[in-house]
Amino acid sequence: MKSHVLVDARWLEPPEPMERVLAAIDDLRPGQGIRFLIHREPLPLYGALHRLGYQHKTHMLADGCYEVTIEPIHPA
């Protein structure tokens, strides 16, 4: 991936974080991924990403929030 679009959904109430990520996926251009920030681990998102053909890597940040890197399983 060459660049990542930032989706900062920290402290937003469901379903807005999921809606923002899915909207960002719709707007991705070839070679782009998403850097998603959220205050809790977005477990329901993972299955949706897989069904849409995306993979993710999640890690906890020093402040207790999560960073999820989302990229196509088969990059264009």
Q: What is the pLDDT along the chain (76 residues), one digit of tens a residue?
A: 579 999 999 999 999 999 999 999 999 999 999 999 999 999 999 999 999 999 999 999 999 999 999 999 987 6
- In this prediction, residue 1 carries a pLDDT of 52
Cα–Cα distance between 76 and 29 in angstroms, integer? 9
From the number of C-beta atoms within 10 Å of its C-beta (0-12, 13-18, 19+), residue 59 rates as: exposed
On the question of a cis peptide bond just before residue 72, with omega within 30 degrees of 0, the verdict is: no
Q: How far is CA 18 from the centre of its chain?
A: 8
Q: List, edge to edge, every strand of the sheet that includes 32-38.
A: 3-8, 32-38, 66-72, 54-60
